[in-house]
Structure 1
C-alpha cells in the first residue's frame, strides 16, 4: 500500500514587510485536490503540521469571487468529510520519514511564514531526499524546501530544476509589494534552476524524485504525476 505524508503549514498569518499580519494559511484547492486524488487512487494519506497544530484554511482560497462558488462548495464539503484528520494532524517532529513513499506540501502563504525555516521540515526532507523518496510541493509549498540544509549549511536542493508560484503571479495577486521576500526569486538566489509556465496555468516540473507544481491549477496534474511516479 502506498503511504503519503501531506505536510501543512500551522500558521494563520503571513507577516508582511511592514510587520502587519496578512490572513493566510493553507490554500484549500491545493490540499483538497491532492488529498482527494491520492485517496481515490488507494493511497493512505497522513497529515502533519509543526506542533500538531490544526491547519488553518486560507479564507482567500474559499472566496467564490476568487475560485468560483462550485469549487468553494466542493472544498467545504470535502473538508467537512475529513474533519477528523484535519482536527488531529501528526506532530511534524514525530514523523518517521521511512514510513512514507512521498512527502507532499501544499501552499498558501503559510509555508513562507513557518515551513521555510522549520527544523523538523528540514529533517523530513533531508531524510526523504537521502533515500530518493518522492518530494512534491506546490505553489508556495516550495518554501519548505529552503529548510533542508546539510551539515555545512548548504541547501540540499541547489542546482535542482523546479517551479513554484512565480514573482509575476505574486504581483498579479497583489501581494508582492509588501512581501518580505518573493518565493521564486529566493529559490533562484539559493541555487535552484527555476522554470515557469503561463501565469495561473497548470505547470509541473520533474527533476528525479523532486516534482513541483507552479500554482493552484497545478495541484491535480502534480498529484497525478506523484501517483504515476510511485507506480
Structure 2
C-alpha cells in the first residue's frame, strides 16, 4: 500500500492586519504544488485537510508570473490547484486519524497565520505527530502552525527545537511587516524555538529530529525532497 502524506492547509482567504483590515491571502501556490508533485512522483499519496474541510484558498498573488517564477509556472500551478482532486476534496482537520499517515506537510502563505496558528485540531495533529516521531515538514509561513501545539500551561511543545521560517527581513522586503499584527520569526522565538535565518529568498532548510522546516518558497522543493528521503530511510 502506498505511503500517505497529510497536507495540513489553511482554510483562510484573508489575513487580519494590525489595523483590523483584511488582506487577501491563502496558501502560497509553489509551496503546495512543488511538494505535491515531488511526493506524487515518489509514489506517495497526498490527503489534504483544512479547518472545517473547506477547499484551501490559493493566494492569487502567488499565481502572478513574477511570484511563480515565470508565466509558464504560474499557469502550471493554477492547473494543478484547480484540477488535482486532492485540493478539491479536503477532509476536516477534526476528522484526521494520524495513524493513517506516514508524514505531515504544511505549506505556507499568510493564511496559516490567521487560522492554523490558533487551531486546536491543528495542535492536536502536531502533538500526536511529535509523540509518534512522525516526519513533519513545514515551509515559509507554515511554521505558524507550531504555535498551536501547547501544553496545559500554554507552553510550546516545540520549545527548544531548531527551525527556520519566513524571516522578519523577508517580511519587510515583501512590504507587509509594518502592517502585520505579529511577525512569525519573533513569535516563534518568543515561544522558545530557535529560529535560524539564511539569506533572504534563498533555499534553506533545517532538520531537528523528525521536524523539517523551510524558510521561504524557494525552500519548498528541497524540503519535500528531504522528507521523501527520510521516508525512504524508514522503509
TM-score range relative to shorter protein: over 0.9
Between the aligned partners of 2:86 and 2:230, the Cα distance in structure 1 is 25
Contact 1:109 1:140 in 2 (8 A): yes
User: For 1:10-56, what per-residue CA distance to the aligned partner results, in whole angstroms no more than 9, with x for missing partners?
Assistant: 00000000000100001000000011110110001100000001111
Is 2:172 the counterpart of 1:171?
A: yes
TM superposition shift of 1:173: 0.1
Give yes or no for the alignment of 1:104 onto 2:105. yes
Shift of 1:135: 1.1
Separation of aligned partners in 2, 1:81 and 1:12: 19
Q: Aligned-pair RMSD on alpha carbons?
A: 0.9
In structure 1, the partner of 2:75 is 73
Segments of structure 2 that go 5 or more residues without pairing to the other structure are none
CA distance in 2, matches of 1:80, 1:121: 24
Spell out, residue by residue over 1:41-85, the C-alpha distance to the aligned partner (whole angstroms, 9 max, x if none).
Answer: 000110000000111100110111333212101112222330x32
- Output one character per residue of 1:142-200: Cα deviation in whole Å (capped at 9) or x when no partner: 00010001233221100000000000000000010010000011101110111011100
Give the structure 1 partner of residue 150 of structure 2: 149
- Mapped partners of 1:27, 1:159: distance in 2: 27
CA displacement at 1:98 relative to structure 2: 1.3
In 2, Cα distance between equivalents of 1:105 and 1:219: 10
Residue deviations 1:111-142 (CA, integer Å, cap 9, x gap)? 00000000000000000100100111100000
Match of 2:30 in 1: 29
Superposed displacement of residue 205, structure 1 = 0.1
Q: 2-side partners of 1:65 and 1:153: how far apart?
A: 40
**Structure 2 Cα separation of the partners of residues 114 and 104 of structure 1:** 16
SS at the partner of 2:141?
Answer: helix
**Are 1:61 and 2:70 matched, yes or no?**
no
Cα distance in structure 2, aligned partners of 1:42 and 1:81: 19
Which 4+ stretches in 1 moved above 6 angstroms?
none
Q: Following superposition of structure 1 onto structure 2, how do residues 59-208 of structure 1 map, counting pairs within 5 Å?
A: 59-67=60-68, 68-82=70-84, 84-208=85-209
Return the alpha-carbon distance in structure 1 between the equivalents of residues 92 and 66 of structure 2: 34
In structure 1, C-alpha distance between the alignment counterparts of 2:98 and 2:14, rounded to whole Å: 28
Give the match for residue 8 of structure 1. 9
| Secondary structure of the structure 1 residue equivalent to 2:151 | coil
TM-score norm. by structure 1 comes to 0.97
